[in-house]
A and B are shown apart, each in its own frame.
Chain A
Amino acid sequence: MAFLTIYTPTHRRPSLLRTCVLSVEMQVCHDYEQVIIHDEIGVGIAGMFAAIPGNLNLIKGDYVYILQDDDVLADNGVIGDVRMFAIKNNMPPVVIGRNIKRGNKYPTYWRERPQEGHIDLGSYVIRRDVFAANARQFGQRYAGDADFIDALWAAGYPFAWLDRLLSREQIPERPGLGRPERELL
């Protein structure tokens, strides 16, 4: 079983997906699996969240990280560093890291309760059992990822804070917003 499952939903973004996958394949630590979920019809971000509970059987890693197809892992040491951090911290339920979206570094508030608009889907890595037990907490809306992580905080799961960049967007000036690649490049 892998340490990390990287869960990547994709919709009509062939070259962005290639770069995303490449950033994962370049990792020094190979203790991962990447699951690519192809969205044929363009369910959008809300649909992506709605599909997660139905795909839990595909997630086999100890932890789950959702890496969107228009994002990349920040460098080739991300998985190794997260793995080492998790082991040193007795496999915490939630690991909060940093990510860059729309030119901003998230989360805005560090070591504080997550707030909508101040944390991003790419800011957290979740232990699989916790992810599975709470998968229905993803709101079926654009900010559904904030609903999820706030629900974990409210439920009292301990958060561990890894001050490290996990991922960044590929096209900073063009937020994906579920649009196909031809509208972005």
Chain B
Amino acid sequence: MKVKALIGFVATIDGVKYRVQAGDELEMPKGADWLTAGLAEKAESKPRRKTAK
């Protein structure tokens, strides 16, 4: 799931350290739950632009 960071934070997932800045959009690593922690929100997927045929 792609998320947008609400605040900057540091997290360690499976031994890998992530340093995230507020506003960063990134794929949330497996096993992480930054939404429940209040650190990030689901990134809004942009609607596909309609193209004329």
Contact = CB atoms under 8 A, between A and B. Distances in A.
Contact of A11 (B10, B32, B37): B37
B45 interface: no
Given A21-B7, A35-B10, A58-B10, A40 B33 contact: yes
Interface residues of A, number: 17
Nearest to B39: A38
A40 B12 contact: yes
Interface residues of B, number: 16
**Which applies to chain A's interface (DSSP): helix, strand, loop or mixed?**
mixed
A34 B48 CA distance: 38
B47 interface: no
A55 interface: yes
A30 interface: no
A1 B49 CA distance: 44
Interface stretch (A12-20, A75-83, A114-122, A152-160): A12-20
Nearest to A36: B9
Interface of A: 10-15, 17-18, 21, 34-38, 40, 55, 58
